Amino acid sequence: MSLSRVRKIETIATEMKTDQQGLNPQLQGYGPMAVLGSINRSLAIQIQKLETLVWTANANLSIRTATGAALDALVIDRLPEGRLEGEKAGGFVVMGRYSPAPYQIVIAAGTRVSRPVVGGTSPTLYEVVEETIMEVGESSVVVNVQATEAGEASNAPAYSITGFIDPVPGIESIENPLPISGGEDPETDEELRRRYIYAILLPGRATPTMIVQRLLEIPGVTEAAVDTVGGGDISVIVDTAEGLFGDHDAIDAVLYDNIAAGITSRGVLTAQIKGEEDFVLDLGDSAGGRLYVRALGPIPGSEIIEADYLDVLGRERTATVVIPTATRRGAGFPMTMEESDDRATTVTEIRYEGTEAYDILVGLGEWPALFNLPESVNVIVYVEIRATQTAPATLEEDLQVSIRDYLNSYRIAEDLEYSDVFINAIATNWATKQLFDGIDEILVCRIVAKDQQISNIGQKITIDSDERIRSGAVQVTVI
């Protein structure tokens, strides 16, 4: 019997008749009211039920054919959060009176309001999210509401919520001047199946190259770099037009979807705690981000960590975090920074009285998929040349433009080598890729960056994985 489909009752009964008459050609009486026909049909019904059970059990063993609760059980190994339950629509309504309130009116959390029946469907219910008070003398108040059930059906157009399920004494009207939105249906079997299959394939495909490719597909992202830093950690640097304070949802989504299970995009490691009063600072700085603390071992009891940090404006600020009891190794927690829109560059001091070990990290996005913007390394170049008698009048300006453009062409984490600058931007015009006309001799070439100076072939300045070279002051002297 093939389990590709369940046979029809008539098919089973016909096959039984054929088999029986093959054994005894004299058998007759297979009509609807005949004895043999009735017996075969009764058996065929039971056989079909067994086939249905076998087919269903077999289908529920495969991620490609399982449905409902059986599919939920199969996906839990790769998708521990299980089926996405959908989202409840939310927004606000305005509750009012036709005259100023003579007394304080309390609108309790959980108070239900409704959108009337639409096209034969049941009314959509919404409930007040938090207690709201209409003060004496007021005639209207804004109240946050949320649908009682998830689903796209809980979205409502403007001015469609008009009724109370739980009347509020003193309130005489209700309306929603703006749409109620954000409702999403629960994940279907097919959507869950696709997400699971993608998660299975992902670990083999989540290479740095693939992550970079996905990031570069985001509008506004001009460059991205991904490095493996060991211990299941990667570092992700993204140059985006959104900057430090823009909308990074698209980057967050790419990292969440493309980083393999068990891998942490840690951001920049800026400090470490190795035990009581054993702190390591200045491990790294960043272009700016939020601070996170990661436990390097299991934490049996609750602990408090406080850190001073420099923000992008150079101000010294303070951040704190409470580590919960029974924290597992590798868990990360955001620190509460002095202002919600602060962006830290580095940690300058730590106050901690425990004995456990932690990393302090800085990055944008959400743990465990942090990323950083590239940190600019300004490069100062001084060049002195002797020109030929036929040198063009624009030689000095052309050299400055060539050096600036070449320095600004560097990519994230690319080291600054003296010979590269000398050959590509000074001896050669970076724009035309032709030797400069009019240079008799290059007398001096000094390059300064990161408090280091190089002036000879073979020297270089090492650039960190989250840094990128940018042109600073360029001085060219022609004699």
Residue 252 is predicted with a pLDDT of: 93
Residue 3 is predicted with a pLDDT of: 52
Question: Which are the contacts of 281, defined by CB distance < 8 A and separation ≥ 6?
Answer: 270, 271, 346, 347, 348, 349, 350
Residue 259 is predicted with a pLDDT of: 83
Residue 195 is predicted with a pLDDT of: 78
Question: Which are the contacts of 184, defined by CB distance < 8 A and separation ≥ 6?
Answer: 86, 87, 150, 151, 152
Is the backbone of residue 65 left (phi > 0), alpha (psi -120 to 50) or beta?
Answer: alpha
Residue 61 is predicted with a pLDDT of: 82
Give which of 360, 283, 349, 274 is closest to 321, Cα–Cα. 360
Cross-strand pairs, 95: 141, 174
Question: Which are the contacts of 390, defined by CB distance < 8 A and separation ≥ 6?
Answer: 437, 438
Residue 58 is predicted with a pLDDT of: 78
Angstrom distance (rounded) from CA 472 to CA 457: 21
Angstrom distance (rounded) from CA 393 to CA 406: 21
Q: Which mean pLDDT values do the consecutive 10-residue runs of the chain (479 residues) have? A: 72 89 85 83 90 81 85 78 85 94 96 82 89 95 94 91 94 93 89 76 61 90 90 91 92 87 88 92 92 94 96 95 93 95 96 95 95 96 94 94 96 94 94 91 95 94 93 94
Residue 2 is predicted with a pLDDT of: 47
